Amino acid sequence: DAKTTQPTSMDCAEGRAANLPCNHSTISGNEYVYWYRQIHSQGPQYIIHGLKNNETNEMASLIITEDRKSSTLILPHATLRDTAVYYCIVRQRRDTDKLIFGTGTRLQVFP
């Protein structure tokens, strides 16, 4: 699975958009970009995933560059409850495949 690089930490004001970048320059054609988050020692929570098209769901939007070497997770209106560690994970979509978590980006949303 391709390696990802994320900033260690970011701040965001409540109500503003939080844009979390991820670099995955060695991604291969059949690898997906997944985003999970972990709120203070709770179990990781699935947010969104994509292959090459931009994706949006009720939690977030995922923007993947045309060359697929980087992506951005967008939380359009961050709230205090979005304070968490956000993990960008690149992997193939095999049924039994494990997730390999890095250190992620610690997002702090402030009032």
Report the interface residues with other proteins, using CB under 8 A: 38, 41-46, 95-103
Closer to other proteins by CB, 11 or 97: give it: 97
Closer to other proteins by CB, 53 or 103: give it: 103
Q: Whole-number minimum distance, CB 16 to other proteins, in Å? A: 27
Q: How far apart are CA 34 and CA 89, in angstroms?
A: 5
Closer to other proteins by CB, 21 or 44: give it: 44
Q: How far apart are CA 104 and CA 63, in angstroms?
A: 18
